[in-house]
Amino acid sequence: MKRTDIHTILVPGSGAIVIGQAAEFDYSGTQAVKALKAEGYRVVLVNSNPATIMTDPEIADATYIEPLTVEALEAIIAQEKPDAMLPTVGGQTGLNLALALSENGVLEKYGVQLIGANLSAIKAAEDRLLFRETMQKVGIPIPHGGAAYSFAEAEEIIKQTGYPVLVRASFAMGGTGASWVYEPAQLQEAVRSAISESPIGQAWLEESVLGWKEYELEVMRDKADNFVVVCSIENLDPMGVHTGDSITVAPAQTLTDREYQILRDLAHRVLTAVGVETGGSNVQFGVDPKTGRVVVIEMNPRVSRSSALASKATGFPIAKLAALVAVGYTLDEITNDITGQTKAAFEPSLDYVVVKIPRWAFEKFPRRGFDSRPANEIRRRVDGIGTHLPRSLEQSDSIPRNRCGRTRRLWP
Amino acid sequence: MKLATLVLQDGTVIEGQAFGAETDAVFELVFNTSMTGYQEILTDPSYRGQGVLFTVSHIGNVGINLEDDESAKPQVSAAVIRSLSPVVSNWRSALSLSDWLTQHGVPGISGVDTRWLTRKLRDGGTQKAALSTKGTSPEKLLAMARDWAGLDGRDMVKEVTCEESYRWVDDEGSKWVKPVTSDQLSVVSRQWSVVAYDFGIKENILRHLSSYGANVTVVPADTTADEVLAMKPDGVFLSNGPGDPAGLPYAVEAVSGLIESGVPMFGICLGHQLIGRALGADTHRLKFGHHGGNHPVQYLPNGEVLITAQNHNYCVTEGDLNKDEVEITYKSLNDDSLEGLRMKNKPVFSVQFHPESAPGPHDAHDIFGEFFKMIGGK
């Protein structure tokens, strides 16, 4: 049942639309704010970007166009006295703000509860070291690797993982500062860059799963532990190319049921281990195409860019439901928007294929070279929906340049 | 490329591309919404007499994986699909779907507008149909579909049950089902003996019963209650199976005798329907049935929701059950139909959905544990 002990909810938006953190969060944030408002909550929205739908005057009850900084948020919290903060619909920015406001005691001082994701869950998912420890504790398979604060520590880790090794900056958005290192000569520069890009000065090194099959599950959970997979996504480009830069396909196409159910079971266990009590999450997997070995790569305890694709692909309003389960509803209490009759506790079944194709606007960055890397480089994207994969691919590819970012549907 | 023709009893003619065997087939056409596990579906004996229309876009992508069979061969009469994958992409795959269907004499049609056809079946109900991949005329196919007696009231079980009883021995697929240890469930510290009725049993059910350390003896569908009781089992299992439970009076009689005896008993799907009939309830045909891996059911005692695999056309009529004797345990969240029951004064329970999944989510696996708890607590 809906919580009646909270009245005002603070929702941080995702800020500027930049490469690596795109406009999808405006879509999800707007959906969430509308849902909370419809339930009678007073919604206070903060976003630094006025060129968004969510900052339109009729969306939230109070809208602040302010920088998404700890100081600005603290002032707004002091002014508005919200009972709760929903940090899971504003991308990584929202989670980082929640983390900072918890750690400096602001949330506690003003009695603001985090809903949708609590502090320990955010930490367990975002800190790679803590995430690995959490996974290892409950026996969930992960790639070999470790965290380094110096070059000497990095060299120790290399002894385990060998080359090639993925080096990236902890707590960075969109894979900033990430690169593949194939030989010892490249290591020092990669580690230095990662440490400087990371807000906590931590580089992350990981065993190569280059060339493995890459999958994502978009999942939803409520406080009664009802768990559903909203959508499975398979990347046409294998591990090593950032999901944002990959052609991605929903639903997953090359898993047998036994293999798919292993991912589904693991996703549920990952949510439990991380401590995501309610809301949407995204869990990424690598699968060795030769042996079927499965590893969990990472999870986001929030609405992500893949959820925007999953939401469009299935009609399952992920951000809206994430907001509703965060305020205490269970999935069997919420009506399914697609059928209007059945309940949201279900798993969408697709009879079509959705393809997302990235588009790099090279003409706008003439001096910038490009190679497909684990850091996100995409400028725009195109979604195609068709009755089968070739049709969806063909359609995404045929959308003219000036219409990028739109979704096209084409039935037989 | 060869042409295939599918004709429904209402006169609809659908042309597509042929794959699999070159033959004619007549069947009841049902749709399945699972997005994975076509091989398990095709080998599920519950589909005997039926052709399966897959709603998912691509079939054949992962080929045929020998560990994933639910019985020794494909059981469906035909496969109706949107698009057959021209390549097989899976590390375990042993052969292609089309070659495998050809080997077993099962025809298929691809290039069908499956969404349109599914809507037709959903709105108008399940239909009899005939498929030809060898050039039989639509007129002749229509006559075949209309003349065919259909499945209502018919005993389809005798086509799929085992001829003689046998001890289940774990097979290659068993490695995908984790053993349950006595640390997890104390009652399995003993090796229980279970007699499983084979009305068309899926092998994953046997793998699950065996994963609790049980000795499982599989018996033919026409085994009487006395014959089973003479084996002194600790528990009796009633399997899934094809067709209409109303066509199986002998099985209902055996189930009545077993309920009377007080032996712990657990039924899945057809087994559940037989328990319902033995308790005096009628079974009725659902308009288009439940076939898929995404069906939510709610456990009424605590409100928990499980996403389950389902495959049934018939349903126990809830109003016929004596509520002093029977508790309703599970209901479908989609259409509120009866999905599970438990007797109040006897150690008997059953579910309409498939806790063994294969294919489908594993949410309901623990129901097998409930059976062993019931056996242990008798």
User: Is A289's Cβ below 8 Å from some Cβ in B?
Assistant: yes
- Asked if the Cβ–Cβ distance from B294 to A389 is below 8 Å, we say no
Interface of A with B in 219-258 (CB under 8 A): 224-229, 232, 251-258
Residue A410: per-residue pLDDT: 44
* B58, B91, B307: residue with CB nearest A347: B307
Chain segment A259-301, per-residue pLDDT in tens:
999 999 999 999 999 999 899 999 999 999 988 999 999 999 9
Q: Give the residue among B258, B269, B249, B282 at the shortest CA–CA distance from B155.
A: B249
pLDDT averaged over chain A?
86
Q: Give the residue among A398, A338, A378, A409 at the shortest CA–CA distance from A24.
A: A378
Residues in chain B: 378
Higher pLDDT, A161 or B65: B65
The pTM score is: 0.90
Residue A365: per-residue pLDDT: 58
What residues in B contact A350, CB-CB < 8 Å?
35, 56-57
Q: What is the mean pLDDT of residues A206-230?
A: 93
Q: What is the mean pLDDT of residues B49-61?
A: 96
- Asked if the Cβ–Cβ distance from B304 to A257 is below 8 Å, we say no
Chain segment B126-165, per-residue pLDDT in tens:
999 999 999 999 999 999 999 999 999 899 999 999 999 9
User: Is B298's Cβ below 8 Å from some Cβ in A?
Assistant: yes
Give the gap in angstroms from C-alpha B58 to the nearest C-alpha of chain A: 7
Residue A364: per-residue pLDDT: 58
- Mean pLDDT lowest for which of A212-221, A337-346, B336-345? A337-346
pLDDT-derived band at A204, boundaries 50, 70, 90: confident
Token pair listed for B136: 């039989």
User: Is B324's Cβ below 8 Å from some Cβ in A?
Assistant: no
Residue A381: per-residue pLDDT: 66
Residue A18: per-residue pLDDT: 67
Residue A243: per-residue pLDDT: 77
Give the gap in angstroms from C-alpha B116 to the nearest C-alpha of chain A: 10
Chain segment B285-317, per-residue pLDDT in tens:
998 899 999 999 999 999 999 999 999 999 999
pLDDT score of A333 more than 90: yes
* A264, A343, A349: residue with CB nearest B292: A349
CA angle in degrees (0–180, nearest 5) for B14-B20-B21: 95
pLDDT score of A21 more than 70: no
Chain segment B67-83, per-residue pLDDT in tens:
999 999 999 999 999 99
Chain segment B253-289, per-residue pLDDT in tens:
999 999 999 999 999 999 999 999 999 999 999 988 9
Residue A384: per-residue pLDDT: 81
Q: Give, rounded to a whole angstrom, the gap between the first and last alpha carbons of chain A.
A: 42
Residue A25: per-residue pLDDT: 84
> Who contacts B122 (Cβ-Cβ below 8 Å, separation ≥6)?
B31, B287, B288
A203-207 and A165-169 strand pairing? antiparallel
pLDDT-derived band at A224, boundaries 50, 70, 90: very high
> Who contacts A196 (Cβ-Cβ below 8 Å, separation ≥6)?
A169, A177
Q: Give the residue among A390, A231, A372, A234 at the shortest CA–CA distance from A311.
A: A231
Q: What is the mean pLDDT of residues A148-153?
A: 92
User: Is A209's Cβ below 8 Å from some Cβ in B?
Assistant: no
pLDDT score of A366 more than 60: no
Residue A391: per-residue pLDDT: 83
The residue in chain B having the minimum alpha-carbon distance to the alpha carbon of residue A212 is B91
pLDDT averaged over chain B?
96
> Who contacts B361 (Cβ-Cβ below 8 Å, separation ≥6)?
A229, A261, A264, A347, B293, B294, B306, B307, B308, B309
Which residues of B have a catalytic role annotated? Answer: 269, 354, 356
Interface of B with A in 206-235 (CB under 8 A): none
Neighbours of A369 (CB within 10 A): 6
pLDDT score of A255 more than 70: yes
**Which of A217, A227, A229, A258 to substitute to test the interface with B, most B CBs within 10 Å?**
A258
- Asked if the Cβ–Cβ distance from A349 to B294 is below 8 Å, we say yes
CA angle in degrees (0–180, nearest 5) for B68-B330-A328: 100
* A224, A254, A290: residue with CB nearest B62: A254
Give the gap in angstroms from C-alpha B146 to the nearest C-alpha of chain A: 29
Residue A174: per-residue pLDDT: 59
pLDDT score of A317 more than 50: yes
Rounded distance between C-alpha atoms, residue B97 and residue B103, angstroms: 10
* A232, A253, A351: residue with CB nearest B61: A253
Q: How would you label A203-232 residue by residue, b for 16+ Cβ within 10 Å and e otherwise?
A: bbbbbbbbebbbbbbbbbbbebebbbbbbb
Residues in chain A: 412
Residue A380: per-residue pLDDT: 58
